[in-house]
Structure 1
Amino acid sequence: MSAQETVRRQAGSVEETALKIDPEKAKQIVDALNADLAATYVLYHQVKKHHWNVEGAEFLDVHEYLGEITEDLEDGADELAERAQAIGGVPLSGGAAYEAHAPIEPEGEDVYGIRTSLENDMEAFGVIIESIRDHIELTNELGDYATEELLRDTLETVEEHAHHLEHYLEDDSLVLESATN
């Protein structure tokens, strides 16, 4: 770790920026963005775990799709963090901070069957969807239309993944069940 002792910006602080968002409003928005950032990274690590551990007849398709989800989550997290910084805040950083601020609980280290794993992912996506919708409303009320638009774009991506996971979990499949007789 660096020997530098001077803190340039303290976590949890908000400073005025050229974007001219009132610091008290910016604080509320940064808190919302950090909650969504935290949830995104908690879900990212959960989906990545499922990506690494998926097995079975549909391994390749599910493995590749989970990889796509993690790429989208990482891109979305980057956009949330950069917006929090742009409006004067300090984005959260680190696993412990993410877990402490996320509205979702991490799944844990155990490996589950892929159906259970995807159900856990879909449940987490549902919590994130509700959180982002609340934050869209908040940013609109506070007059931060750029953050509102960013969150709308994020919501569209998150909803699309939740919808696709729902399809993976349907009981109709081309995979034949093995005969037990």
Structure 2
Amino acid sequence: MSTQKNVLQEAGTVEENRLRIPEDKAEQIIDALNTDLAATYVLYHQLRKHHWNVEGPQYRELHLFLGEAAEEAEEAADEIAERVQALGGVPVANMTSLEERAPVDMEDDDVYEIRTSLEHDLEMYGDIIETARDHIELSTNLGDHASAEMLRLQLVELEEHAHTIEHFLGKDSLQDW
């Protein structure tokens, strides 16, 4: 841990930004983005857990999918954090704050069969998708079209991953033959 005592910016504060988004509007957007950031990190950790623990006949395909989905969540989190900083805010970063801010709950440390794990992932994706849609609307209404666009692009990926999970959870049509 650092021994530095000179705090450059306190967590939860908003400074003037060079993007010319008024501070009162930036504060609302930063709050929403920090919620998205926390949710994305929780998703990342859950996907990584499932990537590590997947077993069974579809091991390779699921292992690769979950690894890729986790990497994309990590990239999305980085984009969100950088946007928070550009807006004059401080990205939420410590584990306690991430857990408190996240609108989703990660499953416990136990290892479940992959179908249960994927059901948990799909539920989390659904919650994050709903939150992202709300925050796209908020950003748009506050005139921050760049944050809205960033979230729109992330929403496309979120929905694609949710749809892929739906396919993994679907009934195997070959079983009825």
Give the TM-score band, short-chain normalised.
over 0.9
Give the length in aligned residue pairs: 176
Structure 1 spans left out of the alignment, 5+ residues: 177-181
Identity %: 57
Cα deviation, residue 137, structure 1: 0.4
* 1:179 counterpart residue number: none
1:122-141 correspondence runs (5 A): 122-141=122-141
Deviates more, 1:120-129 or 1:165-174: 165-174
CA RMSD of aligned residues (A): 1.2
* 1:149 counterpart residue number: 149
CA distance in 2, matches of 1:68, 1:46: 13
* 2:101 counterpart residue number: 101
Cα deviation, residue 173, structure 1: 5.6
* 1:43 counterpart residue number: 43
* 1:32 counterpart residue number: 32
Q: TM-score, normalised by structure 1?
A: 0.95
Q: TM-score, normalised by structure 2?
A: 0.97
Residue deviations 1:96-117, cap 9 Å, x none?
1111000001111011100000
CA distance in 2, matches of 1:58, 1:173: 15
Residue deviations 1:138-159, cap 9 Å, x none?
0011000010100100101101
* Stretches (4+) displaced over 6 A: none
Q: Which secondary structure does the structure 1 equivalent of 2:15 belong to?
A: coil
Cα deviation, residue 6, structure 1: 1.2
* 2:159 counterpart residue number: 159
* Larger fraction in helix: 2
Q: Which amino acid aligns with 1:70?
A: A
Q: Which amino acid aligns with 2:136?
A: I
